[in-house]
Amino acid sequence: MSDIATNSFGGKWALITGASSGLGLEFADILAAQKVNLVLAARRREPMEKLASDLRSKYGVDVLVEAINLAAPGAASRLKSSLDARSVTIDILVNNAGFGLHGDFLDTPIEQTANMIQLNITTLTELTHLFGRDMAQRRSGHILLIASLLAFQAVPSYAAYAATKAYVLAFGEALHDELRSHGVVVTSLCPGHTATGFDAAAGATASSLLRLLTMKPRPVAASGIRALMQGKATVIAGLSNKMAAFSNRLTPRSMQRATMKRIMDT
Ligand SMILES: NC(=O)c1ccc[n+]([C@@H]2O[C@H](COP(=O)([O-])OP(=O)(O)OC[C@H]3O[C@@H](n4cnc5c(N)ncnc54)[C@H](OP(=O)(O)O)[C@@H]3O)[C@@H](O)[C@H]2O)c1
């Protein structure tokens, strides 16, 4: 069964960051199935080369691999220059690369937190600016930003990570309105807990309550691409995650934090 009902993306080029693992693999497969040519970007070359080769033979699309540390200052413009040099025009940007840091803020080396902010916020913003300007000039383009359910409230034990995702969501929703008149769609996807490499990278073990709420990455990625194609501002993946975000509207912020702490710890 196809994940996506319509196909207006065929023949275009998509840049997917964080395409070596988790949600990135699914975004790549879903878009390639729609005959979208791909640029895969992350640090680990090997899994991306394997994915590229699988997608080329499965769907007959072009796939380029860019092994790059997107948390390094200037990485976004280096990636853009590399694609310009190859005359690759990006029609769809999937700003997916990101990681979390679990634990007490003061016990986490500040360099790790700064590195996360650089990737989750600065590089995401720079990529959106670089590719968004090109898209606006062509009056056509799609940008998917991967925020999180944690963007909706403060989260003790994920203090800085949740704050980076609050930035992504606020940034994405504002750009949805700003760029509409330029012919560019900006959609923010908010996944809840999803079975990917996220926990390992964050140094976290999912609590038993969180494990009950965990989604598989395929439907999460599919909901993001579907919302992007439909021109939506925001999508929350999955019904229970939608209900969790909605319940925030009815509860005081102190209670939201207490609830998140219970979900993370129990
Ligand atoms: N899984 C969840 O529960 C969840 C929930 C909400 C939001 N999200 C968000 O979803 C997005 C995808 O994460 P995921 O769940 O799929 O986790 P994942 O399996 O750990 O994938 C993260 C991806 O980001 C890439 N990445 C990390 N650091 C990078 C760097 N310095 N430079 C370039 N690429 C880098 C990784 O590639 P390399 O290691 O090869 O560089 C990997 O491809 C993230 O933005 C995450 O915050 C995840």
Tell me, what CATH number does 22's domain have?
3.40.50.720
Within 8 A by CB and 6+ apart from 54, the residues are: none
Ligand 1 centroid, distance to 177 Cα (angstroms): 26
Task: Tell which residue, 218, 212, 202, has the closest CA to residue 160.
Answer: 202
Q: Looking at residue 123, what DSSP letter applies?
A: I
Q: How large is the angle between the packed helices 124-138 and 159-180, nearest 10 degrees?
A: 10
- The token pair that represents 146 in the structure block: 């991967």
Q: Which atom of ligand 1 is nearest to the CA of 201?
A: 20
Cβ 98 under 6 angstroms from ligand 1: yes
Whether 59 is catalytic is no
Tens digit of pLDDT at every position of the chain (266 positions): 455 555 689 899 999 999 999 999 999 999 999 999 999 999 999 999 999 999 999 999 999 999 999 999 999 999 999 999 999 999 999 999 999 999 999 999 999 999 999 999 999 999 999 999 999 999 999 999 999 999 999 999 999 999 999 999 999 999 999 999 999 999 999 999 999 999 999 999 988 888 989 999 999 999 999 999 999 999 999 999 999 899 888 899 999 998 888 888 76
Cβ 187 under 6 angstroms from ligand 1: no
pTM, whole model, 2 decimals? 0.96
Ligand 1 centroid, distance to 42 Cα (angstroms): 9
With H, G, I as helix, E, B as strand and everything else as coil, classify residue 215.
Answer: strand
Q: Of the listed 59, 158, 161, 167, which one is catalytic?
A: 161
Within 8 A by CB and 6+ apart from 235, the residues are: 187, 188, 189, 190, 223, 224, 226, 227
For residue 7, being part of any structural domain is answered with no
**What is the domain extent for residue 101?**
13-265
Cβ 119 under 6 angstroms from ligand 1: yes
For residue 3, being part of any structural domain is answered with no
For residue 261, being part of any structural domain is answered with yes
> What is the number of structural domains in the chain?
1
Ligand 1 centroid, distance to 210 Cα (angstroms): 18
The answer to whether 131 and 82 have CB atoms below 8 angstroms apart is no
H or E segment and range at residue 37: strand 37-42
